[in-house]
Amino acid sequence: DRGSVQNTPKSYDVEYLMPVSIGTPSQQLNLDLDTGSSDLWVFSTLLKESMVNGQTLYDPNASTTADKMEGYTWKITYGDQSYSSGDVYIDTVTIGDLTVSTQAVEAAKEVSEEFTADSDNDGLVGLGFGIINTAKPYKQKTFFEKAMPGLDSPVFTADLKAGAPGRYNFGYIDDGAYSGNITYVPVNSTDGFWRWVSPGFQVGSTGSFNSTRIHGIADTGTTLLLLPDGVCEAFYSQIASAEYEPSQGGYTFECDDSTIPDFYFGTGNGQMIRIPGSYLSYSKTDTGSSRCFGGMQSDSGVGFTIWGDIALKAAFVVFDQGNEQLGWAEK
C-alpha cells in the first residue's frame, strides 16, 4: 500500500498543512505533520468555545466508527512551550488515500493560546517514534507505525517547498522528486526523534568545509534552523549588517543586505545540501522595519540542533523507519 498528499505552506512557510480525513462519514481537517513529536491530536467539539478561533473541530459523536478509550488522557508540551491535552478515541484516519482503520485520535479538551490563535491549523500528526507518545495509561502508535506493516516500503518522504505546495509520500520513494543520489545516515530513535549526525558545514560556495559533527533532529514541525552557536557565528560573520539582537530574540540583518551567503550542511559520503541564502532571511523583525530575522538561530535554548523547515525545504528527505535511517537528496 502507499499514499501521497499535498502539503501547503502558510505565510512565511511558518508551517505546512495537509488535509486528513477522520471518522465515518469522513471529517476533513487540515493538520501539521510534525516529525518532532508523536501524538496525533485534533481540535474537537470537546473544547470550550473560548479556545476555538475558526478551526475545524473533530466531533467523535458524529462518527459511527469512533470508539472512546475510557480512562485514557493525553497532554503534550512542545519546545516553544505551546501545549494541548484531552481524551483519546480510536477512529479511522486517511491521509493521501492511505487509511489506518484503528488510529488513536487524541481529541483536544484544552489548547494553549498559540494554537487558538492559529486558525488554519486543526491539529498535528506526530510522526516521530511512538515511544514519546503522551497517551496514558498506555502510549499509542503513530499513524505511520500503524500503517507501516502494509506499506510497499517502510518509509515516508517529505518534500517541502519555499512558498509553494509540496508533498508527503507514504510507502514509496518518488525518484522524480529529487536530483542526484540519496545519502542515507543512521538515526538514533532512543529519544523518540529522528536524530542524526551531520559531519559538518560550509558557509558560501567558496567557503571551506568545517568538519564538526552536528547532532540534531529532522523536525518538520519546527519553522527555523536551530544550530550550535559556533555555526551561527561562522555564518553571520559573513553578513555585513548582521548582529545578535537580544530584544528581537536572535540574529537580525538588513533585509536588503546582499551578502547573505548560501549555507551547506554535510549529510555523509561527501554530499552536502545547499540552503540558498534567500531561505535564510525569515521575515521583517517588525512592520516597516528595514531589518530581517534570520532563518538560522542558535540552538542554545533547546540543547540540541533542530533541522527545521528552513533546512528541510532545501532537500528531499526520506524518513526510513524500517531501517532507522534518514535519506537526504538535493532537488
Ligand X SMILES: Cc1cc(CN)n(C)n1
* Residue 78 vs 244, nearer CB to ligand X: 78
Residue 130 near residue 119, CB atoms below 8 Å = no
Residues that bind ligand X (CB under 6 A): 34, 36-37, 78-80, 82, 219, 221-222
CB of 237 to ligand X, least distance (A): 27
* Residue 219 vs 254, nearer CB to ligand X: 219
* Residue 226 vs 242, nearer CB to ligand X: 226
Of residues 85, 198, 281, 298, which has the active-site annotation?
Answer: 198
CB of 221 to ligand X, least distance (A): 3
* Residue 7 vs 92, nearer CB to ligand X: 7
* Residue 180 vs 301, nearer CB to ligand X: 301
CB of 85 to ligand X, least distance (A): 13
Tell me which DSSP letter residue 188 carries. B
Per-residue H/E/C for 134-186? CCECCCCCCHHHHHHHHCCCCEEEEEEECCEEEEEEECCCCCCCCEEEEEEEE
Residue 13 φ/ψ region, left for φ over 0, alpha for ψ in the -120 to 50 degree band, beta for the rest: left
Would you state the cell numbers that stand for residue 196, as one nine-digit string? 542524526
- Does residue 198 carry a catalytic annotation? yes
CB of 255 to ligand X, least distance (A): 25
State the residue for C-alpha cell 514509496: 172
CB of 266 to ligand X, least distance (A): 23
Residue 227 β-bridge partners: 298
Euclidean distance between CA atoms 239 and 331, whole angstroms: 26
Q: Residue 319: what residue type?
A: F
CB of 159 to ligand X, least distance (A): 19
Euclidean distance between CA atoms 308 and 34, whole angstroms: 10
- Does residue 119 carry a catalytic annotation? no
Euclidean distance between CA atoms 299 and 306, whole angstroms: 7
Of residues 13, 32, 34, 122, which has the active-site annotation?
Answer: 34
* Residue 2 vs 313, nearer CB to ligand X: 313
Nearest residue to ligand X, by Cβ distance, number only: 36
Our CA angle for 100, 14, 16, nearest 5°, is 25
* Residue 36 vs 266, nearer CB to ligand X: 36
DSSP string, 66-132: -EEEEEEEEEEE-TTS-EEEEEEEEEEEEETTEEEEEEEEEEEEEE-HHHHH-TT--EEEE-S-GGG
Euclidean distance between CA atoms 58 and 73, whole angstroms: 16
Would you state the cell numbers that stand for residue 202, as one nine-digit string? 560550509
State the residue for C-alpha cell 507501516: 148
CB of 61 to ligand X, least distance (A): 26
Would you state the cell numbers that stand for residue 101, as one nine-digit string? 482503520
For the chain, give the longest Cα–Cα distance. 61
Euclidean distance between CA atoms 68 and 25, whole angstroms: 17
Q: Residues with catalytic annotation?
A: 34, 198
